[in-house]
Structure 1
Amino acid sequence: MQQNRVMAIDAVVNYEFADPELERRGWAETFIREKIGAEEGRIKGLTEDAFLEKMDRAGVEHCFLIATKAGSKMHKIHRHIPYEKVAAMCAKYPGRFSGLAGVDPTEGMDGLAELERGVREYGFVGAHLYPHWFEMAPDHARYYPIYAKCCELGVPIQMQVGHCLRYSDERPLKSVGRPITLDTIACDFPTLKLVGIHIGWPWTEEMIAVAYKHPNVFIGTDAYAPKHWDEKFVHYMNTFGQDKVLFGTDYPVVDLERARIEFDALGLRDAPARKVLRDNAIRLYGLKLPLSTAAAA
């Protein structure tokens, strides 16, 4: 590991380990192989040790693991990761992982109770939402009880904005996540910390505009490799948006090592780079230092 290298926090990582209890469904594996073009390790899932080694090689100290809720269980095409799985990983490696509570607006009060349990009992640091899997835009009223609960718990919520890909031909999903919809949420919930992940692509400038307007709106860099980021977004990170952007990969969509190599090649100034890679996530999610011994390795 390079000395004096800023150790990153990956704010968006899917729980995709080699776990026989959570074998991927065929449509998910096909999506990762054919649409993402991932190698076998990302398709089948790495062991815990192999993933930790990958983190070390990439200079990633800490990852936010998502207890995913992608779609209602009423649909054949969905993916839910039990909170208990993520909580166990965070408990086993407390310096390397923090949990994010996936939310499902169709679960009603039960879903709100589970979100609260995730934060209060499991120590999850935030919530996570996939609007396109529920085919309702982020500013739909059915999400508002979730946003209110996040305010009550004092945790951020990150959500996919931008378009969505075609995960399964059996259930093509509508792209409902225009970044401008976060404008309404930020107005209605001025104390809610919102993170628009996937950089809002292909409406990245729109995402920048919303983050610039609202002090409680932030941007996650995940799902698109850094070499493909628009130069206006890179300029934003390096200048007036340096306090509003969080590094992420959406692993296994983007590999940690590739993301870090390409990020370092962007040529950001030292202070903005450190904020994006690390400091903004620590501040926004209230992480306690030191996270782990990795930073001193």
Structure 2
Amino acid sequence: MAAAREAFAKLKAIDIHVHAEVSCHDPEDPIFGEFADAATHYFKAPRRRPTIPETIAYYRERQIGFVMFTVDMEAGTGIKRIRNEEIAQAAADNSDIMIAFASIDPHKGKRGAMEARDLIENHGVRGFKFHPPIQNFDPGGRMAWPLYEVIDHYKLPVIFHTGHSGMGSGMPAGGGIRLKYGQPMLIDDVAVDFPDMKIILAHPGWPWTDESLSMALHKPNIFIDLSGWSPRYFPEQIIRYANGQLGHKFLFGSDFPLIPPGKWIAAFDEAGFKPHLRDPVLRDNALNLLFGKDDA
């Protein structure tokens, strides 16, 4: 762990929010293709998504570390997931720059909890990703508790999508995605019942931004990643609280491949964050969350 922390500390930044959308083994799921088409239009991003090896090369060239995951949304959408093991193996082969988080649909119950334990113990997975709107579950409901119990036992971090969903935007019925499950306050019970699980609220959480800020102020185990939006469009309270009480709680995340990290960082530098926050937000806060604080 110390060697990995040292390697990541030498990088320019750590992107906590990078998606794997193209498998090296399986063809694109046709239902996912419909969502990808809509997201391409919404984010004005290229339709062709990079493979996992292409993403690794992209981040290595820029000397940026990253956390990668897929989203297991098989129950909510019928989309076949990219295998967690594929991402975990890529991270093991590139451990100086890449960390694997897993995604397991909470509808899988105890079977999903058993898979989570195996991924942690045998595949080196270092955290988990949930997207309640697209996975069609209430994050504060008991269905996900078996998964949370495993994650909490190993004291691993977890990323929850919060706020509006670019996925499904513009599709008929929003692609069937229920935005209500993206309300940050639904996760407050999780933070109370699983205090050893570091919870990252992904995105500024709009239109519930103030809920995310309140939770990060109140709970030591809650953090906020700033992915999914260009910093030029952040609600003003994000910058105000970063410059004040919550500078240690914000994490750089891009939402790659929909938002390139270089473009995000350039906008961050112009958004009004105090200069002394640049390294903490871009790298050091994630370094402490993922590897623990350096007491040297």
Which TM-score applies when normalising by structure 1?
0.85
Partner secondary structure for residue 278 of structure 2: helix
| C-alpha distance in structure 1 between counterparts of 2:264 and 2:80, whole Å | 25
Task: Report what 1:190 is aligned to.
Answer: 195
Q: Give CA-to-partner distance per residue, 1:275-294, whole Å, 9 cap, x none.
A: 111111111122799xxxxx
| C-alpha distance in structure 2 between counterparts of 1:70 and 1:76, whole Å | 6
Partner secondary structure for residue 80 of structure 1: coil
Task: Report what 1:8 is aligned to.
Answer: 13
| C-alpha distance in structure 1 between counterparts of 2:278 and 2:185, whole Å | 26
Task: Report what 2:225 is aligned to.
Answer: 220
CA contact (8 A) 1:67 1:99 kept: no
Structure 1 residues 30-49: aligned runs within 5 Å: 30-39=37-46, 43-47=47-51
Structure 1 residues 136-175: aligned runs within 5 Å: 136-165=137-166, 167=168, 168-169=171-172, 171-175=175-179
Number of aligned residues: 279
Matched, 1:67 2:74: no
CA contact (8 A) 2:72 2:135 kept: no
Structure 2 CA distance for partners of 1:128 and 1:113, relative to 1, 3 Å: same
| C-alpha distance in structure 2 between counterparts of 1:286 and 1:89, whole Å | 19
Unaligned runs of 5+ in 2: 1-9
Q: Give CA-to-partner distance per residue, 1:237-271, whole Å, 9 cap, x none.
A: 22211111111012122122211111122243343
Amino acid corresponding to residue 30 of structure 1 in structure 2: D
Matched, 1:206 2:211: yes
Which TM-score applies when normalising by structure 2?
0.85
Q: Give CA-to-partner distance per residue, 1:117-141, whole Å, 9 cap, x none.
A: 2222221111111111232221111
Structure 2 CA distance for partners of 1:166 and 1:10, relative to 1, 3 Å: closer
Give percent identity, aligned residues only: 25
- How far has the Cα of 1:79 moved from its partner? 4.5
Structure 1 residues 100-111: aligned runs within 5 Å: 100-111=101-112
CA contact (8 A) 1:10 1:60 kept: no
Partner secondary structure for residue 134 of structure 2: helix
- How far has the Cα of 1:207 moved from its partner? 0.7
Unaligned runs of 5+ in 1: 290-297
Computed over aligned residues only, the root mean square deviation of the Cα atoms, in angstroms, reads 2.4
CA contact (8 A) 2:22 2:52 kept: yes
- How far has the Cα of 1:6 moved from its partner? 6.9
Instruction: Between 141-150 and 19-28, report the one with greater CA deviation.
Output: 19-28
Matched, 1:276 2:277: no
Task: Report what 2:36 is aligned to.
Answer: 29
Q: Which has the higher helix share?
A: 2
- How far has the Cα of 1:56 moved from its partner? 5.2
The partner residue of 1:265 within 263, 270, 280 is: 270
Matched, 1:286 2:291: yes
Task: Report what 1:233 is aligned to.
Answer: 238
